[in-house]
Amino acid sequence: MARRENVASHASGSQPRMNAFNRFIDRVAIGLFAAILVLVNVQIVCRFVLSISVPWTEEVSRLLFVWLAYIGAAIGLREGTQIVIDTLPQMLGPRGRAWLDVPVRIASIGVILFMFAASIPLVRSVWSTTLPTVDWISNGWAYLAFTVSFALMLVHSVVPLLRGIWHPQPEAVTP
């Protein structure tokens, strides 16, 4: 399967704000990963070395993992590294791929927009409930990761489409 062209290059070519935004999101993902690593190691040391249980570390690390997974999905869409079925585009050749790209992007934006809109009532419905061992953290934070991820995916889907309309570039042929 051929790797899709990096959509970030279209979205941020000469736009320092988009580059800064992308770097910020990358740093958030790195920070989430580091926090998960620290929490899991604290849990291991406390449980197996000190023989004490710290139940909140498991729940908080699970919450952070949900955020990391959904932020990672948005980064994957930005970088064009998500799994795609590209049999038809490969059969069509460069001209066919260019023709098919816009409707596929529009359909993707429609699905992402639907998921974004559907996630908002979900967050609202669970916001009043809390994690069992950490009663000051709302369950809504886990569901908010969906909303944030879909918003990021919208940005990374719409910006390249608009950039392609406003500033058409020659088709890059990928093997």
**Calpha distance 171→103 (Å, rounded):** 16
pLDDT of amino acid 126:
94
pLDDT of amino acid 93:
82
pLDDT of amino acid 17:
86
Instruction: With respect to residue 172, please indicate whether it lies within any of the assigned structural domains.
Output: no
Q: How many domains does the chain contain in total?
A: 1
Domain that holds residue 18: 7-166
Q: What is the mean pLDDT of each run of 10 residues along the chain (175 residues)?
A: 45 70 96 97 93 90 96 94 83 84 88 96 94 90 96 90 68 53
pLDDT of amino acid 11:
41
SS3 145: helix
Collect all residues with Cβ–Cβ distance below 8 Å to 147 and sequence separation of at least 6.
116, 119, 120, 123
Q: Which of 24, 61, 68 is nearest to 39 (CA)?
A: 61
Instruction: With respect to residue 15, please indicate whether it lies within any of the assigned structural domains.
Output: yes
Instruction: With respect to residue 174, please indicate whether it lies within any of the assigned structural domains.
Output: no
pLDDT of amino acid 102:
81
Query: Do 84 and 107 contact (CB within 8 A), yes or no?
Result: no
User: Of how many residues is the chain composed?
Assistant: 175
Query: Do 54 and 47 contact (CB within 8 A), yes or no?
Result: yes
CB burial string 112-140: b at 16+ within 10 A, e below: bbeebeebeeebeebeeeebeeeeeebbb
